[in-house]
Structure 1
Amino acid sequence: MKHFCSRLAAGVALAVMVATAPVAFAATPNDQLVIGTSLAQVLSLDPQQGTEVKTQEILANTYDRLVFSDQADGNTIKSQLAESWDIDDTGITFHLRDAKFASGNPVTANDVVFSLVRLMKLDQSSATNFKTAGYSADNIESMVSAVDEKTFRITFTDQVIPEALLYRLAMGVSSVVDSVEVQKHVNNGDYGNEWLRTNTAGSGPYVLRRWTPNDIVMLEVNDQFWGEAPAIRRVLMRHVPESQAARLMLERGDIDIANALTASDVRTFENKDGFVIDQVKTGGYYVLAMNAGKEPLSNPLVREAIAYGIDYKGIADTILGSYGRVRNVPVPEDWVGAIPNPDWSLQPERAKALLAEAGYPNGFSLTLKTISQTPRVDMATAIQASLAEIGITVSIQQGNGADIVAAHRARDFDLLIPQTGSFMPTALGSLDNFASNPDNSLEANNAGNFVWRSAWDIPELNALRVEANSERDDAKRLQLITQIQELFIEQKPAVLPMFERFEPIVVNARVQGYVGHPWSLTRVEGVSKTDAK
């Protein structure tokens, strides 16, 4: 684990002052950005491993990718390490800018090759989106190449279109690591994973100076950064899991941004002078995962009964607020190709009839696992109450990110509340989590696959998804997207989308230029702060 070095003594003192200051000491310095958040799910800072939401903002600021999705411009793909690129019938060729890593080593095409090969060879859940595009640990070395020091090329598989590949390359898992530095720290063939879990080796605007789990992350300016020097010299992410505490700290000026508030605390900042609420559309969902590998959840009638046994509207109105809206189809309702919602809603009598038809007239008991984090804990309690109305007794088991994620990946649950994102702002990007499961067998051990975790075997859906992802004709692809959604509803999903997910972020008006990213890849090198009033 990294610790403070001597030249950071002033930073330590300042952090302590911010943590212990009375109300009279309020305003944070103009060159420092303090974010109140939950660090509970930050488990690894290895960019080819860590996929958790809060991890992404750390990685976005310490690493670069070839390209990025510009949230301020309709999520358009724009250049980052690649100044330009050429698309032909067989692949994409990228031309790199002159840039250096924080170590001083130059960024080369070999680093890009190393990073993508490393992603696939580590073979963790982070590689899932590339696997669904046809890339694998076995073929990746034949699909990527360094044409010369500043020219990188990636070849298409038969399962991906150019737009979808560009969006994959804009993901946090596609961050380019310093291959020279990382290879100094390889331990027993781990591709430097043990070292990179707690260190950074990127070319982004910041470097990691400290990470204490469930406490604090400190980033400082990377003096080797290729872009314009950031106005914010230090970024502090403070673990403030209690929403009320974060709200009070934001009101006092102890923090500049809060992104883990409850819906009710977010509402207190509506129309409040000195604050702005940024409601980030993620393209993802809050989901009820049901383990279809266990009875009675293996029965589609039981899953349908559960779908009719949840008070979606009540949860949305009283718990989610700005965090989400009701949506049971895995494509956001305002995206091209989205179909109308089914009639799933709280209908207890219909749900009871389905349970009786399935052979469970007296109901049964299940355990619901959830991460102890806003708003999922309150959602779990509401689902427990709703399902009790139809005869299903639910006990709730809360845990930290490591415990619950591990249980999900091991198929060790009855019900579980995960959340998804969309790797690109299209119907296919959103559907990828819900319609992909090429091998449902336990032996496949495909823990990175969202549907596999629920043991839901969907060969027909998966085949349609593969066909849609390789179809370059827009009209034909749109027809396939409609078919996928209709079949998804018809099969009574074991991965039930409940609410389209938003990320409300409350920002002190002193902060200028902070725009939340749909994948949480929010960069702050363009952020500045005005003087406190």
Structure 2
Amino acid sequence: MATPFDRRSFLKISGLGLAGAFLASCSFGGGTRAGAEGLLRAAFSQPINDLDPHGPSSVDESTLLASRLVYDTPIRRNGEKLEPSVATSWEQTTPTTWVLSLRDDVTFHDGTPLTAQDVKASLERVRDAGTAQSALWTSVVEVEATDDHTVRVVTDEPLGTLPVNLTLLFILPADKMDGEGFFRKPIGSGPFRVESFTPSSSLELVATDYWDGKPALERAELPYLPETSSQITALRTGELDVLWPVPPDQVRQLDGRDGIELDTVSSWAYYFNWFNCGREPFTDPRVRRALWKAVDVATIVENLFGPGAELMTAPIPSTVFGHAPQQPYPYDPEAAKRELAEAGYGDGFRTSLMWFSGTGPLADGLAQAMISDWAKIGVVVEAQNVEKAEWLQRLNDKDFDMDLQINTVTTGDADFTLGRLYDSAADRMGYANPELDSLLRRAHRESDQATRGELYARACRIIWDDAVGIFPAALVSTYARRSEVRGFEPVPSNQPDLRGVRLEN
């Protein structure tokens, strides 16, 4: 639910430098509304690079945003609840078997019917893709289309997270999805079809006769404007209808301006600073805790982000299922020095912090603030602000001392982050804890939500107390829109549903 602007605001990334070219290509005329003739222009702060919802970009917010508009999933998330979409019902018939019943009136954009075979092929494709989403489906051993509108999923152990995971299973046509060039102009069954797509530049969509009601819009365009100043200018002049997330330091450019409205919502995105727990000196939890106590997290978050972030109280945001608040680490440099001495580092040590500027709002400032605080206890940290490609390669190779980044809990469920990243088998930051593994795997198998919540509460405490990382800030999204835009609902995922949006003069 949206909250008044003066509570929260939020920025994600800005980027490369093509905004002027985009604005020059627009034919709106100065000061005119972008949404003429049923066209909504909505700009997200990240470029849409790929429309393959099962591929390497399967958990990127921009690909997910586009996928929600173009494709269907068996189940949808509506606030804190799961509701039917292509699947009218789902039932766990045995501990290791789920049965989905599908609608019989869903068609792809080329007019062919969507059947159980398409759901089967899509699930098998994402399971076998070896991408970030694949980890959600590793226990699936068989997918059977028992008839055109029934799917049976068999797992090698109970999979209680299957319903929430199905909110990420985008359904593609089985006979076309592996075709050459399919994702340049893909076919889905969602409320909009792709008219044209230029990676990192623009996605143009046209409304369809969707099974759940045709969108109020005729068309939607999602351009990428990498320069923040150009985003703000385009919204103010009417060359954009909607912009999100708005940088905290740019909100004042829009707040109170005639014709522009601001809405905010706590998001599922948050900053963390991982320690490489498999590399000295971070193999010692005393060192990790000392470095956390050496950082004045509360002051940094308040001064740097203001209303654009909330202080973290667990290793996942408070908006996510499975969150359990923990005791904050006190800012205590003297205690940090004592603990370092007890661990054998009384004279401090040298280490490094890796990040890339585009990871999120004010990332450079957050990194430098932490480095400054660590210097006060004798820990000299080399700043390694690298290109994203290098950062990703080093992250995957665990070639870092500390890593600062943003994560988004894409499903709104702790399993997506805790279960996927902190299980020893994942080996993402060199941390291994058999007790934590047991909790996470039990929660992954469990179908009862109350029991799952209790298990994740215990998992949150272990990760927090062992200081696997420092968890400073949960981000807040500010959406800015022209007053002519009605029915637009901000969401914590940064993937708004445009079906109900309309334009009024």
TM-score (norm 1): 0.81
Cα distance, 1:130 vs structure 2: 2.7
Amino acid at match of 1:398: N
**DSSP-derived class of the 2:83 partner:** strand
Cα distance in 2 for partners of 1:400, 1:232 equals: 38
**DSSP-derived class of the 1:453 partner:** coil
2:402 corresponds to 1:405: no
CA distance 1:306–1:200, change in 2 (3 Å): farther
2:326 corresponds to 1:341: yes
Cα distance in 2 for partners of 1:485, 1:183 equals: 40
**Residue 53 (structure 1) aligns with:** 61
Amino acid at match of 1:177: L
Cα distance in 2 for partners of 1:307, 1:270 equals: 35
Amino acid at match of 2:349: G
CA distance 1:479–1:83, change in 2 (3 Å): closer
Corresponding residue to 2:409 among 422, 446, 452: 422
**Residue 467 (structure 1) aligns with:** 442
2:225 corresponds to 1:240: yes
**DSSP-derived class of the 2:176 partner:** helix
**Residue 92 (structure 1) aligns with:** 99
Amino acid at match of 2:149: K
Alignment of 1:58-69 (within 5 A): 58-69=66-77
**Residue 194 (structure 2) aligns with:** 208
Cα distance, 1:150 vs structure 2: 1.8
CA distance 1:235–1:398, change in 2 (3 Å): farther
Corresponding residue to 2:45 among 38, 47, 67: 38
Cα distance, 1:284 vs structure 2: 4.1
Cα distance, 1:326 vs structure 2: 0.9
**DSSP-derived class of the 1:289 partner:** strand
8 Å CA contact 1:39–1:213 kept in 2: the answer is: no
8 Å CA contact 1:30–1:530 kept in 2: the answer is: no
**Residue 455 (structure 1) aligns with:** 430
**Residue 386 (structure 1) aligns with:** 373
Cα distance, 1:522 vs structure 2: 2.2
Number of residue-to-residue matches in the alignment: 479
**Residue 327 (structure 1) aligns with:** 312
Cα distance in 2 for partners of 1:306, 1:62 equals: 45
**Residue 262 (structure 2) aligns with:** 277
8 Å CA contact 2:267–2:319 kept in 1: the answer is: no
**Residue 295 (structure 2) aligns with:** 310
**Residue 83 (structure 2) aligns with:** 78
**Residue 163 (structure 2) aligns with:** 166
Task: Kindly provide the CA deviation profile for residues 205-235 of structure 1, in whole angstroms up to 9, marking residues without a partner as x.
Answer: 2233333343x22222154643433232332
CA distance 1:478–1:81, change in 2 (3 Å): closer
CA distance 1:198–1:498, change in 2 (3 Å): farther
CA distance 1:181–1:469, change in 2 (3 Å): closer
Amino acid at match of 1:33: L
8 Å CA contact 1:275–1:509 kept in 2: the answer is: yes
| 5+ long unaligned stretches in structure 1 | 1-13, 186-194, 440-448
**DSSP-derived class of the 2:153 partner:** strand
Cα distance in 2 for partners of 1:516, 1:213 equals: 25
Cα distance in 2 for partners of 1:21, 1:222 equals: 21
8 Å CA contact 2:76–2:82 kept in 1: the answer is: yes
300-309 or 151-160: bigger deviation: 151-160
**Residue 482 (structure 1) aligns with:** 457
CA distance 1:280–1:94, change in 2 (3 Å): farther
Cα distance in 2 for partners of 1:350, 1:336 equals: 33
Corresponding residue to 1:175 among 130, 147, 170: 170
**DSSP-derived class of the 1:436 partner:** coil
Cα distance in 1 for partners of 2:170, 2:483 equals: 31
8 Å CA contact 1:101–1:225 kept in 2: the answer is: no
Higher relative CO (Cα under 8 Å, sequence separation at least 6) belongs to 2
8 Å CA contact 1:43–1:402 kept in 2: the answer is: no
8 Å CA contact 1:108–1:149 kept in 2: the answer is: yes
Amino acid at match of 2:109: A
**DSSP-derived class of the 1:417 partner:** strand
CA distance 1:242–1:423, change in 2 (3 Å): closer
| 5+ long unaligned stretches in structure 2 | 1-20
Identical-pair percentage: 23
Cα distance in 2 for partners of 1:112, 1:39 equals: 29
Cα distance in 2 for partners of 1:342, 1:92 equals: 42
